[in-house]
Structure 1
Amino acid sequence: MDSFRSKIVPVSTILALIVVVWYVGAVAMNAPFQRELDQRGKVNPTTTEFIAETLSQKKPTLPAPHQVAANFFKNTFQVKVTSARSLVYNSWVTLSSTMLGFAFGTALGILIAVGIVHVTTLDRSLMPWIIASQTIPILAIAPMVIVVLASIGITGLIPKALISTYLSFFPVTVGMVKGLRSPETMHLDLMHTYNASRWQTFWKLRVPASVPYLFASMKVAVAASLVGAIVGELPTGAVAGIGAKLLAGAYYSQTIDIWSALVAGSVVAALLVALVGIAGRIVERAMGGRPA
């Protein structure tokens, strides 16, 4: 019970502070437009009425938390799942490309890490290029990927998945390299004493030692993969997905819809990270690790 309180109380306190700051920011940012409306209508509201009006605008500069929450609830639970307005449907569209890109990125990251650890030439030549690749903004790469693949007839899910792959393979590569190199020299010498082959050392020592590093990096990778899928939807003119919701909200100045879509993306990211964490604990226990 004490452990539960020690986790809930700090999180709840920070969340409450964020909500308070959000409300203050909403009033401050929506106030100029509200004053203009009041001057046009020759209205002189009280301070309380003025604050209430700034928090209930239809197209506010910064939506209030309750406006975002109401919109999120409506578009999640009160519309059909197949509706274009449904956040469940749009999240699923984005999730499909996220998971495909995450699978590609994880597989690619593991393969590159294995090569880097076992081939010195790859370590010296490939690793610097991998690091340099992450300095290029994804917003610059995404349109190029979309256009090039469209020119050879590849559209739809694959281009978005490849953008997700680009963002997700890097943390997996770095984490897996760190994990494969984590066994101590004493353990490696012990394997040599047992006359273990290179692959026996790899499977029986390096891989088990890398599992915690792998799943820690996969948590970062799956969140990055979601970002890549959303960014990949922006230059394609997608009609569905979280990115499409963001575009539609920007076109029609529906700021509440934009923030609601951002909340939906955050919820999806949190669920994906939690699932990866659960999978990591299951794998560690299956390999004989102690439960945390």
Structure 2
Amino acid sequence: MSDAAVPLRSRIWAGQVIPVVVVVAAIIAIWYAGAVWLNAPWALDQAGRDEVELSATELVADTWSQERPVLPAPHQVVQDLWKSTIGTRITSKRSLFRHAWITLSATLAGFALGSGLGILLAVGIVHDRTMNASVMPWVIASQTIPILAIAPMIIVVLNSIGISGLLPKAIISMYLSFFPVVVGMVKGLRSPNKMLLDQMHTWNASRSQTFWRLRLPSAVPYLFTSLKIGVAASLVGAIIGELPTGAVAGLGARMLSGSYYGQTVQIWSALVMAAILAAVLVALVGVAERATLRMMGGR
């Protein structure tokens, strides 16, 4: 028996894999049932027009194979994903990899801007009472504005001064991603208890020494947790930023064109690709977290 097989078996028996498989299977089963329920009226209407009676088996088969279903079946989405990724050249305008890369570019730019802004605001809020009293309420209030309402305004204002392309989408991504970073970083920087802070004061440590040697290491787990939320929010912001711009490329543009032409399978394949992209980004942040904690002497 190989060494790699032992951890896998232990994880299965420990109940870490089977529950996930059960939940995924249940979701797929509900999805198929929902496709039958939502697509059946159109199938029955067409059969009535043709004066044909459909058996239960024929009805189910029809609801799972319609060209423009209300809810596509899972296998239809998988087929479209395969066709628009593996079955299409990456340079083609129909390639979902190309659309994903365009959205990913705006996501990473917005995530970098949002994370940097969030960390700087958090440091200022923790170390300055004026910023804590004035900036933090505005940070919280900023998230009460619906992003669908503010995104078109950002696009119009930036276009009026000649800024278009990647930057407007990155700013919308930044707007969504900076908030969890601010909140998580503030919580982390304030996590050291009073006894540790008094100990640093006893050692005559300066504010910068206390920050670098106590507050920042204590904030690292909080930071990475908020970064996982922020990178997913940044992806959502990039997709939303593509909707009011009339963009012809990107996952948001792919969804929008699918809604224009009634291509629901195309919309769902773009949604699944966005979900896969978000999972990969969160996993990469998790890898960076484990590497950072290992370098700091953690496990």
- Shorter-normalised TM range: over 0.9
Q: Distance in 2 between matches of 1:7 and 1:259?
A: 28
Structure 1 residue 256 and structure 2 residue 265: aligned? yes
Describe the SS at the equivalent of 1:30.
helix
- Which residue of 1 is the match for residue 138 of structure 2? 129
What is the deviation of 1:95?
0.1
What is the deviation of 1:184?
1.2
What is the deviation of 1:2?
2.1
Structure 1 residue 70 and structure 2 residue 70: aligned? no
- Which residue of 1 is the match for residue 10 of structure 2? 2
- Which residue of 2 is the match for residue 89 of structure 1? 98
Q: Distance in 2 between matches of 1:32 and 1:259?
A: 21
Structure 1 residue 181 and structure 2 residue 194: aligned? no
**Aligned letter for 2:201?**
H
Equivalences for 1:47-196 in 2 at 5 Å?
Answer: 47-196=56-205
How many residue pairs align between the two structures?
A: 290
Q: Distance in 2 between matches of 1:84 and 1:212?
A: 41
- Which residue of 1 is the match for residue 278 of structure 2? 269
| Gaps in structure 2 of 5+ consecutive residues | 1-8
Q: Deviations over 1:222-256 (max 9, x none)?
A: 00000000000000010100001001100000000
**Aligned letter for 1:34?**
A
What is the deviation of 1:76?
1.2
What is the deviation of 1:50?
1.1
Describe the SS at the equivalent of 2:70.
coil
Describe the SS at the equivalent of 1:195.
coil
What is the deviation of 1:7?
1.6
What is the deviation of 1:4?
4.2
Q: Distance in 2 between matches of 1:244 and 1:47?
A: 38
Q: Deviations over 1:126-150 (max 9, x none)?
A: 1111101101110001000000000
Equivalences for 1:11-22 in 2 at 5 Å?
Answer: 11-22=20-31
What is the deviation of 1:289?
1.0
Q: Distance in 1 between matches of 2:33 and 2:109?
A: 40
Q: Deviations over 1:156-206 (max 9, x none)?
A: 000000000000000000000000000111111111111100100000000
- Which residue of 1 is the match for residue 3 of structure 2? none
**Aligned letter for 2:59?**
F
- What is the TM-score normalised by the length of structure 2? 0.96
What is the deviation of 1:74?
1.2
Q: Distance in 2 between matches of 1:176 and 1:4?
A: 35
| Gaps in structure 1 of 5+ consecutive residues | none
Describe the SS at the equivalent of 1:67.
helix
**Aligned letter for 1:213?**
Y
**Aligned letter for 2:197?**
L
Describe the SS at the equivalent of 1:7.
coil
- Which residue of 2 is the match for residue 224 of structure 1? 233
- What is the TM-score normalised by the length of structure 1? 0.98
Q: Distance in 2 between matches of 1:51 and 1:287?
A: 57
